Structure 1
Amino acid sequence: MLSVYFLSLVIFALVIAVVVLVYGLQKLRANLRAVALELERCKLTLEISEDVGRFGSWHLNVTTNIVKWSDYVFDMHERRHSLGDPMLEQAVNYYHPTDRPIVESAVQLAIEQGEDFEFRARIITEQGKELPVLARGTCQIGVNGKVLGIFGCVVDLSTPEDRQVA
């Protein structure tokens, strides 16, 4: 008799535990959906801000040398998205030949010494247009003190008149 009572108690406790777990999972799923919606809203806000503000963001992964560009940076360079994110050397080669030493020096100092940078330069788009830009970069430093990457933005400094001529 005692074992039947004990078994019933264990089954009841398991049912309660399952109900609590299911409820917790449903609540977690709802929270996850809310976070996903908020993330999508933030992404859209950033895309609109970049378009209105005529700036784009980028991130250099120092390990892979891949520069991940935002949509606006692709548009600014007139680079097809199907080409993918450029390698560092390709990204630097978009700059006007006389401006490349400034870019290379800034990136090298950032990688080697963790120095943030800002410079004005010109990029040459895929269509051959010259575009004045302001570029900024800030270093992502790992726990060992080494630079993991560089986060940055590039601002289109062209005027509406420049864009009409182009």
Structure 2
Amino acid sequence: MELENKIEITTQFLDDSQIISKTGSWNWNVVTNEVLWSKNMFRLLGLAPDEVAPSYELALHHVCDSDKKRYEETLSEAIENKTDYYFENKIVQKDKTVISVVSSGKCILDENQNLIQMIGIVQDISVQKEIDQIKE
């Protein structure tokens, strides 16, 4: 199998897996400030990959107003302490649909323990939240 074909198959597998699990992933190069999102990260925000360039500011724009302060504080604390983070919040999609998500991230350090990259996922847990509310 050619390398290009393997890459294409792997990329499609990742995309399909994220659709099924309702998960999007992201990568932020702290040194260059380059941000990458998976296709499903765009989908979770109700956006098309060719519609906008991914950025922290754009992600923050989609965080529900009531969660923005906690979102910013949690990320700032993770960056300052070079630690992983996990929290639940709501995001507002482009069409104004509000979904519940789990946001989780990890700091990547270089050999001198300097933060060089952050990676993370966002998972739509709206259905689980609805089930939990029905049970209560």
Aligned partner of 1:58: which letter? Answer: W
Counterpart of 2:88 in structure 1 is 120
Q: When you count strand as a share of all residues, which structure comes out higher?
A: 2
Q: Where has structure 1 moved over 6 Å in runs of 4 or more?
A: none
Counterpart of 2:26 in structure 1 is 58
Secondary structure of the 2:108 match is: strand
Counterparts of residues 122-161 of structure 1 (less than 5 Å): 122-159=90-127
Q: Name the % identity.
A: 26
TM-score, normalized by length of structure 2?
A: 0.84
| In 1, Cα distance between equivalents of 2:63 and 2:99 | 9
Q: 1:44-88 CA deviation, whole Å, 9 max, x = no partner? A: 111111111111111122234443111111111012322333221
Q: Structure 2: 5+ residue runs without aligned partners?
A: 131-136
Select the structure of larger CA radius of gyration. 1
Of 56, 60, 85, 1:88 maps to: 56
- Cα distance change, pair 71–109 in 1 and its aligned pair in 2 (3 A): same
Compare relative contact order (CA 8 Å, sep 6+) and give the higher one, 1 or 2.
2
Q: Is the counterpart of residue 42 in structure 1 residue 7 in structure 2?
A: no
Q: CA deviation at 1:91?
A: 1.1
| In 1, Cα distance between equivalents of 2:7 and 2:109 | 25
Q: Is the counterpart of residue 104 in structure 1 residue 58 in structure 2?
A: no
Secondary structure of the 1:44 match is: helix
Secondary structure of the 2:96 match is: coil
Aligned partner of 1:149: which letter? Answer: Q
CA contact (8 A) 1:66 1:88 kept: no
- Cα distance change, pair 98–53 in 1 and its aligned pair in 2 (3 A): same
- Cα distance change, pair 77–136 in 1 and its aligned pair in 2 (3 A): same
Q: When you count helix as a share of all residues, which structure comes out higher?
A: 1
